[in-house]
Structure 1
Amino acid sequence: MFGELTNGRYVTLARSDLSRLLFERIKDTTEIIFGNEIVGLEEKSDGVRVRLKHGGERKFDLVVGADGLHSGVRRLAFGPQHQFEKKLGYAVAAFEVEGYRPRDEDVYLMYGRPGRMVGRFTLHRNRTLFLFVFVVDSDPLPTALKMQQEMLREKYEDGGWECPRILEELGRTDELYFDSVSQIRMNGWSKGRVALTGDAAFCVSLLAGQGSALAMISAYVLAGELLKADGRHQEAFLKYEASLRDYIQTKQQGAARFATALAPRTQLGLLFRNLVTNAFVIPGLARLVIGKEITDAVQLPDYHWQSSVI
C-alpha cells in the first residue's frame, strides 16, 4: 500500500540512523554541543542572549527551536505548552528488544482490542520494536519507568495473541518511550528573533509517522528563506510560515483521523477498520481514501544553494 502511495519510493529509515547521517554531514563545519540545553532567552535589538544549563551565556543573531513536542525554546519564548497542545485522547509507548521470535521481515503486525493496540515490526540487527497505542481518560501520565510498565500491564494483561510474551519483554527493558499522543497548534511559528521548526512548531503527533520528514522540510524552507532575505529575519520568518501553513494543517487533520484508526474505541470500530485496511489491496483504493494524508504534494522551492553555504 505504501509503495503504491509513494510510487515505489517508500523506504524505512530509523531516526537514529538519520541523525547520524546528518551529524556526519555537518560535524566539520558546525559547532555542536551535546549534554546541554537552553534555560533562558533574552532578546536584544541586535541578537538573543541565551543562557545554557551547563555553560553560562552566549549571544546569537537568531534562535531556532527544533526541540520537539515538549520544546523548551517554545516554552521560554511563547509560553507554557498547554496553550498550544491538543491531546488526541491516546497515549503511546514503544521499546525495542533483540532476538525476539517470531520475526516477520518487512511486515507490520497489529493486535487490537477496543481502545488498545499493540504492534510488532522488525528492525535491522535482529531487533524488534513493539508499539502500544491506547485510550487514556486521565492526565497526567506516569513519568517513572516502573509506573509506566505497570500501566501497560494493566491495559494489556487480558490480551491474547503475543501479549503475555511482549509484557515479559517489557519487564526486562530499561528504555521505554512513553508519552501522550498530542499535536502542537500555534497561530505563529516565530516571535522576534526566535523561530520554531518541526514538532516544536506544529507536531502532527507520533502516530502520523512523518515527524522527521516534516522537520527536515520546515528546516529546509526556513534556511532557504533566511538566505533569500539576506539578514531580514522577520521577512524570512513570515515567508517560511506562509509557504507551509496550509500543508501542515492538512497533515495535522489527517493525523488526528489516523490515531482513531490505529486504536478504535469500540468493537464495531475495530471491525470497520479491519475491513477498510484489507480493502486497500484493491489497486487505487488506498490512494483515493488516504492518499492526501500520506503522500507529499508540496513543491519545495529551489533556493539555489551555493556550495559555500551548505
Structure 2
Amino acid sequence: MISGAGIAGPTLAFWLKAAGLEPTLIECAPGLRSGGYVIDFWGLGYDIAERMGLLPEINRNGYHVREMSVVDDVGHRLAGFGTSVFAELTGGRYVTLQRSDLSRLLYEKVKGRVETIFGDEIVAIQEQPDCVRVKLNHAGERRFDLVIGADGLHSVVRKLAFGPQSQFERHLGYVVAALEVRGYRPRDEDVYLMYSRPGRMIGRFTLNDDRTLFLFVFAAEDASLPTTLDAQKAMLRHVYGHGRWECQRILAELDRTDELYFDKVSQIRMPNWSRGRVALVADAAFCVSLLAGQGSALAMISAYVLAGELAAADGRYQEAFARYDTLLRSYIDAKQRGAERFAGAFAPKTRAGLVFRNLVVRTFAIPGLARLAIGRDIADTLELPAYNWALLDRLAAA
C-alpha cells in the first residue's frame, strides 16, 4: 500500500507496476488536488518523466518563463535576469508547471491500472511476521506485504510507524502561502514578479485560462500556525497590510477564495527511512522544504529508486530498503544543506539582506556567474541506477 497520491505516490505505483508488482494507492482527499504553487522542473526528475513517456504532456501544460524580476514599491524593476540561464545549466531540459498538473499527469499513467482508494486514510498499522495489517478510516482492515508513506511533510504513516512529526521536523523560520485567482490584472505573461520587504515577499505569476498565482513567503520564528482559513487570511493581512506595490489589491483577492495553501517552511531529518515493513519516500522521509525548488523531482527520484530496489530484491524487502537509503542518503543530505542556504533568499530579514540578494540576482545576467553562484545546487550528481522494468514499454506508451 502506498499512502499519498501527490507526486511520489503515483510515480512509485508506476514503477512498481512496471516491475510486475501490485501497488494500491490510498489518498485522504476525495480526488486529486488542484491549484497550489508552481514548480521548476529539471534534472533527474525530468529524466524519469521522460522514461515514463510524460515529456510531451509536461511541456504542453508547462510554462517557459522568460524572466524573473524584483520590483520596487511602484513596480519598477530593481533586479532580475532572463531565465535562459537555467536552460543553459540544464541543457534546455527545464520547465515550470503547476505541481497539481504534474500530479495529475503522473496519476493518469496508473489510472485504471492500479487499485486506488480516494477519500480514505490509514489510521493504524500493525506489523506481523508475514504482512502489515492496515486499518483504514472507512474501508476497514486490509493486509499488505509493505506500506510506503508518500504522504508529504505531515505524513500519517511516519507518525504511526516512527513517531510524532516534532521528532523529525526542522522549522526554517518562514511560512509560505499560495493563492490562485481568476481575472486579476495586470498580466505579465511568462514573467515571475517578486516584491520584497524585510522578512516578507510576495510573488505574482500569470497562469493559463486567465488565472494568476500569488506566492507569499514571510519570516515567522514561531512554528505554530493558524489552522482555520479565516485566521490564515487574517495573518496574511496583518503581515502584508502595510505593503505597497500591488499588496492591497492582492489582499483583496483573499475575500474571493475558499482555497489557500498555507504551511510552515520545514525540513524532515530522519536517521532511517524504513522500519520493518514500512518505508517512507519524498517529503515524508526527507522534505527539503518547499523553497528548495526541487521537491517534486526528488520525490520522483526516491520513488524510482525504491521501486527499482524492491523489484531487484525479489521479496527481500529489508535489503531493498537498506540499498535505497544507501544510494540516496548523501545526495539528499546535500540537497537539504543547499535548501537551507536558499531559503533566506526569498525573504531576507534585513534591508541589508535585501540589497545583497538583489545584487546577487543581478549577477545572474552576467554570463558564467550564474553557474558559479548556483551551478552546484542545480546540477544532479547522482546517476540513476539501471533496473529491469519488464512492463515499462507498455505503461510508458499508454
TM-score (norm 2): 0.76
Q: Does 1:81 align with 2:162?
A: no
Q: Which residue of 1 aligns with 2:102?
A: 18
Q: Does 1:268 align with 2:352?
A: yes
Q: Secondary structure at the match of 2:291?
A: helix
CA distance in structure 2 between the aligned counterparts of 1:97 and 1:49, rounded to whole angstroms: 43
Q: Which residue of 2 aligns with 1:104?
A: 188
Q: Does 1:286 align with 2:286?
A: no
Q: Which residue of 2 aligns with 1:57?
A: 141
Q: Which residue of 2 aligns with 1:66?
A: 150
Q: 1:101-147, CA deviations, whole angstroms, 9 ceiling, x for partnerless residues?
A: 11111111110000000001122222111000001122311011111
Identify the range of structure 1 (155-164 vs 4-13) with the bigger mean alpha-carbon deviation.
Answer: 4-13
1:151 Cα deviation from its structure 2 partner: 0.7
Once the two structures are superposed, the pairs formed by residues 136-147 of structure 1 within 5 Å of their partners are: 136-147=220-231
Q: Which residue of 2 aligns with 1:194?
A: 278
1:5 Cα deviation from its structure 2 partner: 1.9
1:172 Cα deviation from its structure 2 partner: 1.7
1:181 Cα deviation from its structure 2 partner: 0.3
Q: 1:187-244, CA deviations, whole angstroms, 9 ceiling, x for partnerless residues?
A: 0100000000000000000111212111111000000001111000000000011111
Once the two structures are superposed, the pairs formed by residues 232-243 of structure 1 within 5 Å of their partners are: 232-243=316-327
Once the two structures are superposed, the pairs formed by residues 211-226 of structure 1 within 5 Å of their partners are: 211-226=295-310
Q: Secondary structure at the match of 2:87?
A: helix
CA distance in structure 2 between the aligned counterparts of 1:123 and 1:108, rounded to whole angstroms: 11
CA distance in structure 1 between the aligned counterparts of 2:264 and 2:243, rounded to whole angstroms: 22
Q: Which residue of 2 aligns with 1:6?
A: 90
Contact 2:176–2:216 at 8 Å: present in 1 too? yes
Identify the range of structure 1 (139-148 vs 3-12) with the bigger mean alpha-carbon deviation.
Answer: 3-12
Q: Which residue of 2 aligns with 1:132?
A: 216
Q: 1:9-52, CA deviations, whole angstroms, 9 ceiling, x for partnerless residues?
A: 11112222222222221122200000011010000000100000
Identify the range of structure 1 (234-243 vs 23-32) with the bigger mean alpha-carbon deviation.
Answer: 23-32
Partner of residue 122 from structure 2, selected from 16, 38, 44: 38
Q: Does 1:171 align with 2:255?
A: yes
Q: Which residue of 2 aligns with 1:256?
A: 340
CA distance in structure 2 between the aligned counterparts of 1:268 and 1:171, rounded to whole angstroms: 34
1:80 Cα deviation from its structure 2 partner: 0.2
Superposition RMSD in Å: 1.2
1:301 Cα deviation from its structure 2 partner: 0.8
Code of the residue aligned with 2:186 in structure 1: it is P
CA distance in structure 1 between the aligned counterparts of 2:100 and 2:221, rounded to whole angstroms: 32
Q: Secondary structure at the match of 1:97?
A: strand
Q: Does 1:180 align with 2:273?
A: no
Q: Secondary structure at the match of 1:128?
A: strand
1:284 Cα deviation from its structure 2 partner: 1.6
How many residue pairs were aligned?
Answer: 310
Q: Which residue of 1 aligns with 2:328?
A: 244
CA distance in structure 2 between the aligned counterparts of 1:91 and 1:295, rounded to whole angstroms: 27
Q: Which residue of 1 aligns with 2:46?
A: none
Q: Secondary structure at the match of 1:204?
A: coil
Code of the residue aligned with 2:380 in structure 1: it is D
Identify the range of structure 1 (21-30 vs 33-42) with the bigger mean alpha-carbon deviation.
Answer: 21-30
Q: Which residue of 1 aligns with 2:62?
A: none
Q: Which residue of 2 aligns with 1:209?
A: 293
Q: Does 1:230 align with 2:314?
A: yes
TM-score (norm 1): 0.97
Once the two structures are superposed, the pairs formed by residues 114-129 of structure 1 within 5 Å of their partners are: 114-129=198-213
Q: Secondary structure at the match of 2:374?
A: helix
Contact 2:173–2:222 at 8 Å: present in 1 too? no
Relative contact order (C-alpha < 8 Å, sep 6+): which is higher?
2
CA distance in structure 2 between the aligned counterparts of 1:230 and 1:85, rounded to whole angstroms: 33
Code of the residue aligned with 2:119 in structure 1: it is G
Q: Secondary structure at the match of 2:271?
A: coil
Code of the residue aligned with 1:291 in structure 2: it is G
